[in-house]
Structure 1
Amino acid sequence: MQCMNWKLSDIASVLAVEVVGNPEALIQRVITDSRIASTGDLFVALVGERANGHDFIASVIEQGAVALLLTQAPKQPVSVPYLLVEDPVTAMQQLAAAWRLKHQLNPVVLITGSNGKTSVKEMVRAGLSARDGTGVLATQGNLNNHLGVPMTLLSLRDEHASAVIEVGANHVNEIAQLGPLAAPSVAVITSIGRAHVGEFGSLDNIKRGKGEIWQALPATGGVAIVPVVEADSEFDGWSFWQDALAKHHVIAFGDMANLNVNRGWQAWVGVVERQATTEGQLVRLATSDWGEATLELPIAGAHQANNCAAVVAVLLASGLSWQSIQTGLSEAKLPGGRLRLLTPLPDLLIIDDTYNANASSMKAAIGVLMEQSAKTHAFVMGPMGELGDESQALHEQVVDFACEAGVNAFLASGSLSRSLVQRFDVQRPLADLAVASEDAQRLAEALWQVYQQKGSMAVLVKGSRSARMERVVEALVKLASQSAN
């Protein structure tokens, strides 16, 4: 990757501070992790609960850092220049905004939503790559917060032609602060759900919080990609966003049944039908302005068909042809822990969706599970975090959904696991399995025993990141591998 070549004096001007030392230092990269320091770096010393970046000043200088951004003067003389700021996070955000404006990009796509952010981001990146090759900057991993967004933008280089930036939030005013840093030309809300409702305080606040993304678009112009659900659904955010959307070109996406009545959008992309395949699914889309097409999507799940519609809206609005879109989407892949399909044995399918969870993404993943051909459909449910007072009700709602869908083996971990298993047992007394345990190995062994008895099993493992449900996946894969050997 190319270097920044950003003069320290120019950085100081952005922050309205003075350089202590040589102002001519040339910055090649901005970092916060002392372990990766190298020649040309500007090291930002963050102060956290477990570590203070100021304690690593000598180390980063030894490794080649050429400048420092600090909140307190060094205790010992240093051989490199430094800047003193009150808040390093705010400083990074200011630098990110300034650095972004140095780059001519088309498009810059900003994505948020209760579910589907990463899936849509990865599909948009794949689509744009059909045009721009490796010149697409995209958010890596979970770098979608107050630190991750500026770090992503500070990764921009001259080689980049477009950018896809993911922004997360768990409280009001967070997206309002982070979104404008990217100066997007296209903004997307993938969905509205109850993720982080404990932090947001209410579903209305979630709608308002997600709708802050429209503030990041230009005062006039810009493209807003808007999810459309049933008008009377509690997850419909249209009334909250109507005033903001009046300034922009609005493209609605969703199921065709919900696009029949125009509520103020200029264009639309709708899912007409989908067909599951062994490689993913075929998605037939209709549009207001660009005709129809059936796309091969190498990602399973009805909810991913909806995400595909959002992606196609972005790409069509950015000038890509249907052929380029299909070429790009054929290469789309989701990161680990997101609907990753594992087949350690021919008749044992494990759906690893352990990266994170909320009620709506749980239901979507159960839908993927039930599309699989198997004698036993097993659901290993980990806890969902940040749900506040609604936690128990939402966990129970997921269990009820699993029962209605036809899940016939249910395993749970977390503080609610026993009551959830009891709830499942009442509704599905003839199920193959109902187990509560905090031990990943025990859960895997219980699944393995049923698999040996019944054969042909599909297993969904899902929970919040903090639950580390991937341990169940790893244990089950190990049992299968030992059997194969």
Structure 2
Amino acid sequence: MLITTDQLYHKFLECTGVSTDTRRITPDCLFVALKGANFDGNQFAEQALASGARYVLVDDVAVAERDPRCLLVADGLTALQDLARHHRQTLSIPVIGLTGSNGKTTTKELIANVLAKKYRTYATVGNLNNHIGVPLTILSLNEQHELAVVEMGANHQKEIELLCTIAQPTHGLITNVGKAHLEGFGGIEGVRKGKGELYDYLAQNGRTVFINSRDKTLMAMYRERLKTLRSESVFAEVIFYPAVESPAKSVELLQESPVVVYRDSAGQEITTHLPGRYNFENIIGALAIGEYFGVTSDEANHAVANYNPTNNRSQVIAKGTNTVLLDAYNANPSSMAAAIRQFASMPAKRKAVILGDMYELGNESEAEHTALGKLIAESKFDLVILAGKDMHYALGYLPKAYYFPDKFSLHNWLMDNPMTDTHILIKGSRGMSLETVVPFI
């Protein structure tokens, strides 16, 4: 007999947490058996119970009949999402929903660090930002938490809409709209529409939105919704930022330490370990949210200064006489162009770039990699190293670049050609795993 969401929720309250991975079973947790193209979590139900799970959620009748601790549902993923929705409705805390093409995770971490100065804050762990990760994030919230920051990622339209029904954000922010996941979204207009689903949810439910007033695309998306939604719905509040300004010298990577200095409108310095003008936009978003929730500017600036990324995003690593800027968690045409332009503007004796393929571009891949080659050529780096099957499209503008179709060849070349006194930017899509080249520099 199928268990209802209400019945399942009472079982959930007996558990210590939720897991979808038998390698991460904690005592008395609820294990949710999910299915994919190449796996069936139902097959691991008994293993999860043996490892200490209190209950397992399954959608296979035969498996459910083996043990009374197996809770039968029609579909494991749908039940997980419904359970998270039910739990969310029991919570009265502010939930900040966050999406965007670039900078989501960094901005999420910055917001969480700032808000933690005043509130018991919970934020999306790692990159759990999809149709499975968001429910797990919501189900991790409890009565101890005063605020939550929920990152929402998407690679096709209607996904943010779905995630909003689960997270039910009271506040929201879109970092930017760029050329990410073009294949799934169906082009840049599809990206804009898909990310805008967060604005739609916030407006339709009378919630608060934070908008970067310096971003023309986001401002246009906001104005479009004022026209189309009209009296049907309205944002509870619209908070425009920035309240701080970038100085004339703007963003500078200091030679003696990986610290970037910004100035606010009062001339006060804001220091951070995050290089790049694009990270300034992430920082001012976090500061705006901190100010809204009553975090003092001193505490907020201190939180930003203490944030040191360790997730292959905007990391600055000293390797002998070299300085490595590791930004290898992901890449798309927008983030790649921003990183290259910023790196080109930095003061350094010698500059090298190690760049890998940008994934999920579909039919636009050849054109986007070709355009990237032109930008790299205009930047006049001392050394250009490209890796991946699609990066060969960039070579038309780069007769002096080194190209490797695979990382094994790249690793060997780096060992045979050591660099010294060089600033090195490493960036590519997640599937390229370019952080693996760091030990060879």
TM-score for both structures, normalised by structure 2: 0.89
Taking only the aligned residue pairs, the percentage that are identical comes to 29
Q: Which residue of 1 aligns with 2:402?
A: 435
Q: How many residues align?
A: 432
CA contact (8 A) 2:369 2:393 kept: no
- The residue type paired with residue 410 of structure 2 is L
SS state at 2:118 partner: helix
Cα distance, 1:154 vs structure 2: 0.9
Q: Which whole-Å CA distance do the structure 2 matches of 1:407 and 1:457 have between them? A: 11
Cα distance, 1:319 vs structure 2: 1.8
Q: Which residue of 2 aligns with 1:142?
A: 127
- What does the per-residue CA deviation read over 1:372-408, in whole Å, with 9 as the maximum and x for residues that have no partner? 4433311111111111221112112222222222322
Cα distance, 1:270 vs structure 2: 4.9
Q: Which whole-Å CA distance do the structure 1 matches of 2:414 and 2:436 have between them? A: 14
Q: Which whole-Å CA distance do the structure 1 matches of 2:426 and 2:195 have between them? A: 28
Q: Which residue of 2 aligns with 1:331?
A: 306
TM-score for both structures, normalised by structure 1: 0.81
Cα distance, 1:240 vs structure 2: 4.2
SS state at 2:163 partner: helix
- What does the per-residue CA deviation read over 1:131-189, in whole Å, with 9 as the maximum and x for residues that have no partner? 13xx3211112110000000111111222221111000111110011023222221000
Q: Which residue of 2 aligns with 1:461?
A: 426
In the TM superposition, 1:417-432 aligns within 5 A as 417-425=391-399
SS state at 1:351 partner: strand
1:304 aligns with 2:283: no
CA contact (8 A) 1:25 1:67 kept: no
Assess, with a 3 A threshold, how the Cα gap between structure 1 residues 202 and 312 changes in structure 2: closer, same or farther. Answer: same
SS state at 1:98 partner: helix
> Please, which of 400, 408, 412 is the counterpart of residue 386 of structure 2?
412
- The residue type paired with residue 405 of structure 1 is S
Q: Which whole-Å CA distance do the structure 2 matches of 1:241 and 1:459 have between them? A: 42
- What does the per-residue CA deviation read over 1:330-373, in whole Å, with 9 as the maximum and x for residues that have no partner? 2212232112111120x211221111101111122224433544
Q: Which whole-Å CA distance do the structure 2 matches of 1:124 and 1:23 have between them? A: 33
Cα distance, 1:59 vs structure 2: 1.2
CA contact (8 A) 1:54 1:74 kept: no
SS state at 2:143 partner: coil
Q: Which whole-Å CA distance do the structure 1 matches of 2:281 and 2:168 have between them? A: 26
1:59 aligns with 2:55: no
Q: Which whole-Å CA distance do the structure 2 matches of 1:374 and 1:142 have between them? A: 33
- What does the per-residue CA deviation read over 1:437-464, in whole Å, with 9 as the maximum and x for residues that have no partner? 1343543454566655xx4211111111
Q: Which whole-Å CA distance do the structure 1 matches of 2:134 and 2:158 have between them? A: 15
SS state at 1:64 partner: coil
- The residue type paired with residue 51 of structure 2 is Q
SS state at 2:352 partner: strand
Q: Which residue of 1 aligns with 2:18?
A: 30
Assess, with a 3 A threshold, how the Cα gap between structure 1 residues 342 and 445 changes in structure 2: closer, same or farther. Answer: farther
1:130 aligns with 2:117: yes
SS state at 2:145 partner: coil
Cα distance, 1:250 vs structure 2: 1.7
Q: Which residue of 2 aligns with 1:103?
A: 91
SS state at 1:125 partner: helix
More off after superposition, 184-193 vs 324-333: 324-333
Q: Which residue of 2 aligns with 1:80?
A: 68
- The residue type paired with residue 318 of structure 1 is F
1:222 aligns with 2:207: yes
Cα distance, 1:313 vs structure 2: 1.5
- The residue type paired with residue 290 of structure 2 is L
> Please, which of 354, 358, 374 is the counterpart of residue 328 of structure 2?
354
- What does the per-residue CA deviation read over 1:241-277, in whole Å, with 9 as the maximum and x for residues that have no partner? 44469424222336xxxxxxxxxxxxx6654552423
RMSD (Å), alpha carbons = 2.8
1:237 aligns with 2:221: yes
Q: Which whole-Å CA distance do the structure 1 matches of 2:234 and 2:19 have between them? A: 39
Q: Which residue of 2 aligns with 1:284?
A: 263
- The residue type paired with residue 128 of structure 1 is L
- The residue type paired with residue 144 of structure 2 is E
Q: Which residue of 2 aligns with 1:375?
A: 349
In the TM superposition, 1:164-243 aligns within 5 A as 164-217=149-202, 219=204, 221-229=206-214, 231=216, 237-242=221-226, 243=228
CA contact (8 A) 1:137 1:164 kept: yes
Cα distance, 1:409 vs structure 2: 1.3
Q: Which whole-Å CA distance do the structure 2 matches of 1:75 and 1:112 have between them? A: 38
Q: Which whole-Å CA distance do the structure 1 matches of 2:14 and 2:205 have between them? A: 37
Cα distance, 1:284 vs structure 2: 2.6
> Please, which of 30, 53, 56 is the counterpart of residue 68 of structure 1?
56
More off after superposition, 22-31 vs 312-321: 22-31
Q: Which whole-Å CA distance do the structure 2 matches of 1:411 and 1:466 have between them? A: 17
CA contact (8 A) 1:23 1:81 kept: no
CA contact (8 A) 2:374 2:394 kept: no
- The residue type paired with residue 283 of structure 1 is Y
Assess, with a 3 A threshold, how the Cα gap between structure 1 residues 141 and 383 changes in structure 2: closer, same or farther. Answer: same
Assess, with a 3 A threshold, how the Cα gap between structure 1 residues 18 and 374 changes in structure 2: closer, same or farther. Answer: closer
Assess, with a 3 A threshold, how the Cα gap between structure 1 residues 78 and 202 changes in structure 2: closer, same or farther. Answer: same
- What does the per-residue CA deviation read over 1:410-441, in whole Å, with 9 as the maximum and x for residues that have no partner? 1112223334234212xxxxxxx521113435
The runs of 5 or more residues in structure 2 that have no matched partner are: none
CA contact (8 A) 1:208 1:240 kept: no
Assess, with a 3 A threshold, how the Cα gap between structure 1 residues 353 and 40 changes in structure 2: closer, same or farther. Answer: same
1:112 aligns with 2:111: no
Q: Which whole-Å CA distance do the structure 2 matches of 1:77 and 1:220 have between them? A: 42
Assess, with a 3 A threshold, how the Cα gap between structure 1 residues 212 and 162 changes in structure 2: closer, same or farther. Answer: same
Cα distance, 1:230 vs structure 2: 6.3
- The residue type paired with residue 328 of structure 1 is A
Q: Which residue of 2 aligns with 1:262?
A: none
1:313 aligns with 2:313: no
More off after superposition, 161-170 vs 311-320: 311-320
Q: Which whole-Å CA distance do the structure 2 matches of 1:129 and 1:449 have between them? A: 46
Q: Which whole-Å CA distance do the structure 2 matches of 1:76 and 1:307 have between them? A: 47
CA contact (8 A) 1:143 1:149 kept: yes
1:341 aligns with 2:320: no
The runs of 5 or more residues in structure 1 that have no matched partner are: 1-10, 255-267, 426-432, 477-485
1:472 aligns with 2:437: yes
